[in-house]
Each structure stands twice: as C-alpha cells, then as structure tokens.
Amino acid sequence: MHRLKIGLLLLGICRLPAWQQPSPAEAPPIQTADEALERLPPIGREGTFDKQRMAWNFDPAVSWLKDHLARGGTLSDEQWRRALLRSGSFRVRERWPIDRPFAVSVEIPAWLPLSEIRLSTGDSGDFEGRAGSTSPLMCGNCAASARMRWRYQELQVLPLGSQTVSFQVVVERGSDTGPSRLRRDTPPPEGPPAGVLWKGTLDFQIQGVATFEEALPAAHDEVLNATVRRAIGVAIVNDRRLWVDGDVDRVPELATTGLSLEIELREGTTVRETESLVVIDRPGAFSQSVGWDLPADLTDPSNWSVHVRGRAAEALHAWNAQRYWDGELVIPLADVPRH
C-alpha cells in the first residue's frame, strides 16, 4: 500500500541541531531590535533543550526578541519582514512548476509563542493559509501533525513566467488562559495582552516554469548514491521489526538535496511491503521512519532485500532542496544489523 508518511512523534526526544551559544567575548549584549534581527537564528537552531531542567535554553537573539514583544515592544514593517524571513518562518521556491498548485511553508518561531500567522493572496481577505494557534495545543501528537501540515500549504496554480506573489499577512498573539488553567483554579498569567501584533505584506518573486525538472532537477551518480546511503538507517529490532529511517542532518553533503523515497521490502523479485517517506530538514521531534514486522518463520534472509528509490513525488516538500535524488539503492536484508 502506498502512502505518504513523514514521520512518527517521539515524545521526550529532541532532534534539533545543537546551537552553540555565543560567549560575551564573541557577541556583546543585544541592545536594539536591529541587533537582535542581525543575529536571529533560523527555526531549528533557536536553542537547545535541557532535559534536567525540562526547559529550553534559547539563543540570546531569540530571548531578546521574545521578551521585547512580551513587554509591548513593537517592530516596524521592515523589521517584521526581516524577522519572519530570517527565521525561516516563511519559505517558498523561486521556481515553481505550473502544473502543480503553488505551495508555501509557514512555521512559528520560538520568539512568537501562542501566536497564529494567517496569510491570503487575494483581495477578498479570505485566509488561504495559516500556522500556529492563539490558544495552547494540549495534545502533543495533534500539535506535531499540525506543524507538518503547516510546512506545505497549497494555495493556487501559477501562470507561466515571472511574477510577484504578494501575501497579506496577519500575526496575532493569544494568551494562556485556556480550560487547563481554569481547572487548576489559577489566575491568568501575567503577560502581554492578546491581539494582532502585525498586519503587512510579504512579496516574493516567483518564476512559473513548464516542467518539474526546471523547478527541481533530478540527480544521481555513484558518489551521490553512496552519500544518500549514509543518510538512510536500516535495522532489525527484537529479531522481528524492520525499521528504515532517513536523516539529512547527519550528512551535511545532503543539505540541498531532497529525499522523497519509495521503500520496498522484497522477497526475491516479489514486493512484500511498500511505504513512502519524505526526509525533511529541521524535523524537530519527528523520527522520519517506516517499519514492518518480518515473517515469524523467516530464518534465511539471503533472498530478502530493501529497495530504496528516489522519486519526484512529494520532493517539493523538502524545502531545503535545490535538487532531488532519483537514484536507487538495494540493501540485502542479510547485511542489516540486529539490535
């Protein structure tokens, strides 16, 4: 059975890349919004999670901007645009195939807690895309699934040629006064009032192209195939469960290569299982993996193998990609380590 599977939520595991906090000797204290914006890291590198304290240690620029807005500080239109784009809150492709609906990625940075970003492209004011929430999301799995949907939102089909895509953007902040606090009979927390923080526009120059390959070219060779193999982990757990995962963060050479994979478990030439997996950058708390239970009576794996094939389908979901891998790997099951 074919289906797109982006990942499973593993609670309590943080897979954000480590962010080295600058020492006072390397970076002076931040005094202004422009200084914070100049040093603002992208989503995925905003901080590290301290498991002992069960709290985040944010980059100084993230903490400064978060506190600035919480105290009622403001940003100019130009500063809001810099903040959203520098953090990678909005991501689009400069070239887009005209036979597919144009899509945008919207994510909420750490300096905008309990906030929602809404966007529209038409004059009607109807909101075509959104991300975040103005109230606490109490279900961890639901919140994680929502974040994955926000990362790829289809809007409209673009015409051929160069054009400006303009978004009307609304950033609104909520407050943590939901039912969970009322049940604990605690007073509302101190903090900034709920309301709209910014209304403005974001403009992107987009080239509508005739073919998928013009937007995202395919690539494979022996070197790239070997590099992709390093990003793919295969293991048998408890002698029964076969897991296949992907992680571009552990292979820096794939920082701009999209991995949209079709993975098959074969017995000889017979396909026994099939799954699809899109390996995305900055996956957060997601483990990007697929798995199957092997037959209980499988004692000789010599005729079994895992086939991994790169494909164009869903490759546009990999926003880091400037190309996508279209090669193929065959991994003998007999060579797969057991844990």
CATH number at residue 329: 2.60.40
Residue 39 located in a structural domain: yes
Residue 283 pLDDT: 72
User: What is the rounded CA–CA span in Å between residue 277 and residue 107?
Assistant: 21
3-state DSSP assignment of residue 214: helix
Per the structure block, which two tokens stand in for 298?
């499988």
Residues 72 and 164 in one domain: yes
Is 315 domain-assigned?
yes
Distance (Å) of CA 23 to CA 60, 61, 154, 170, 334: 10, 13, 42, 35, 49
End position of a domain, from candidates 213, 240, 256: 213
Q: Is 143 helix (H, G, I), strand (E, B) or coil?
A: helix
* Together in a domain, 241 and 199: no
Q: From residue 68, how far is each of 90, 136, 207, 236 by CA, in Å? A: 21, 21, 37, 49
Q: Which of 53, 60, 70 is CA-nearest to residue 14?
A: 53
Q: Are residues 71 and 143 in the same domain?
A: yes
Beta strands 195-209 and 95-97 are parallel
Residue 22 located in a structural domain: no
Same domain, 201 and 232: no
Which residue among 156, 184, 213 closes a domain?
213
Clarify whether residues 226 and 329 are in a common domain: yes
* Cα–Cα–Cα angle for 171, 148, 284, rounded to 5 degrees: 95
Both 174 and 242 in one domain: the answer is no
Whether residue 148 lies inside any domain: the answer is yes
Q: Judge if 220 and 320 occupy the same domain.
A: yes
In a domain? residue 19: no
Cβ distance 169 to 202 under 8 Å?
yes
Closest CA to 111 of 145, 68, 51: 68
Q: Which range of residues forms the domain containing residue 69?
A: 4-8+29-213
Where a domain ends, among 195, 213, 231? 213
227 and 128: one domain?
Answer: no
**Do 275 and 160 reside in the same domain of the chain?**
no
Instruction: Tell whether pTM > 0.75.
Output: yes
What is the Cα–Cα distance from 182 to 103, expressed in whole angstroms? 39
Domain check: are 278 and 194 in the same one? no
Question: What pLDDT does residue 228 have?
Answer: 97
Q: What is the dihedral of CA 318, 320, 321, 322, to 10 degrees?
A: 150
pLDDT at 77: 97
Angle at 91 between CA 85 and CA 96, to 5 degrees: 135
Q: Give yes or no: residues 87 and 183 share one domain.
A: yes
User: Is 159 among the domain residues?
Assistant: yes
∠ CA(17), CA(92), CA(5), 5° rounding? 60
Same domain for 206 and 235, yes or no, is: no
pLDDT in tens, the chain (339 residues): 444 443 333 223 233 333 344 444 567 899 999 999 999 999 989 998 888 888 889 999 999 999 999 999 999 999 999 999 999 999 999 999 999 999 999 999 999 999 999 999 876 556 688 999 888 877 767 777 888 899 999 998 999 999 999 999 999 998 765 554 444 455 544 556 788 999 999 999 999 999 999 999 999 999 999 999 999 999 999 888 999 999 888 899 999 999 999 999 999 999 999 999 999 887 766 668 999 999 988 889 999 999 999 999 999 999 999 999 999 999 999 999 998
Q: How many domains does the chain have?
A: 2
> Has residue 20 been placed in a domain?
no
Beta bridge partners of 338: 236
Quick check: is 49 in a domain?
yes
Contact criterion met (CB below 8 Å) for 218 and 283: no
What kind and span of H or E run contains 144? Answer: helix 140-150
